[in-house]
């Protein structure tokens, strides 16, 4: 699905050629990602790639993509042999957001780098306190808030917490994610003070029969 010498092929080749486990040194990926994301033509490349999808490729994208409470997560590349995956996030109009993950204080099971292709969003960073007994977030402390526009690059490690409370209509981002480094992620609603643990559905399959 990736064309030779395209920006996406270039990034994929660089990540595949890394001489260290990507998940153990994601800051090095950030060093590669920022100059790569700044090169001209990325939006055009993504647009051309999507328009050139064959029926089989489009089916694969649809099968791996998903809708969240705040955006559509389109999977552009996710091969089991690769220690990374490529995604396009299409943010919904603000009035269509439902309370959920992106606008709560949360972390992720994986590390990632992202660049804003168009639009903008407010990005907030938080420090958190984890309850020793429940393992859930018991409080969150706001650290800083930044309005990030097109061309902005952000890197988040799996143990860092953030929140996106609002995004401009039409906002789209490109992401490269590591493979999961944790079996779950956490979120916290500052309004209610309630924390949650999120376990991916595939991790529950082995115990599904026992729960019937």
> What pTM, to 2 d.p., does this model score?
0.90
Q: Where are the domains of the chain?
A: 7-200
CATH 2.60.120.10 for the 7-200 domain, yes or no: yes
Give CA–CA dist 200/177, Å, rounded: 16
Q: Which pLDDT score, from 0 to 100, does residue 140 have?
A: 96
Q: Is 138 exposed, middle or buried (0-12, 13-18, 19+ CB in 10 A)?
A: middle
Strand 172-178 relative to strand 194-198, pairing: unpaired
| pLDDT string in tens for the chain (212-residue length) | 544 457 888 899 999 999 999 999 999 999 999 999 998 888 888 898 899 899 999 999 999 999 999 999 999 999 999 999 999 999 999 999 987 777 899 999 999 999 999 999 999 999 999 999 999 999 999 999 999 999 999 999 999 999 999 999 999 999 999 999 999 999 999 889 999 999 988 888 888 888 88
């Amino acid at each position: 699905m990736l064309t030779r010498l395209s920006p996406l092929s270039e990034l994929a080749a660089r990540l595949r050629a890394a001489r260290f486990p990507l998940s153990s040194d994601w800051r090095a990926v950030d060093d590669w990602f920022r100059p790569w994301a700044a090169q001209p033509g990325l939006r055009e490349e993504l647009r051309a790639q999507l328009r050139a999808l064959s029926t089989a490729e489009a089916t694969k994208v649809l099968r791996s993509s998903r809708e969240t409470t705040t955006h559509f997560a389109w999977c552009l590349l996710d091969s089991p042999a690769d220690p990374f995956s490529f995604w396009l996030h299409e943010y919904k109009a603000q009035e269509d957001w439902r309370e959920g993950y992106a606008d709560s204080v949360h972390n992720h099971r994986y590390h990632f780098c992202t660049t804003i292709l168009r639009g903008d969003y407010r990005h907030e960073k938080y420090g958190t306190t984890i309850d020793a007994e429940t393992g859930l977030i018991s409080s969150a402390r706001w650290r800083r808030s930044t309005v990030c526009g097109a061309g902005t690059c952000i890197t988040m490690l799996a143990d860092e917490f953030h929140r996106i409370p609002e995004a401009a209509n039409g906002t789209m981002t490109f992401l490269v994610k590591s493979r999961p480094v944790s079996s779950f992620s956490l979120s916290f609603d500052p309004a209610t003070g309630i924390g949650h643990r999120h376990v991916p559905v595939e991790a529950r399959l082995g115990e599904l029969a026992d729960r019937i």
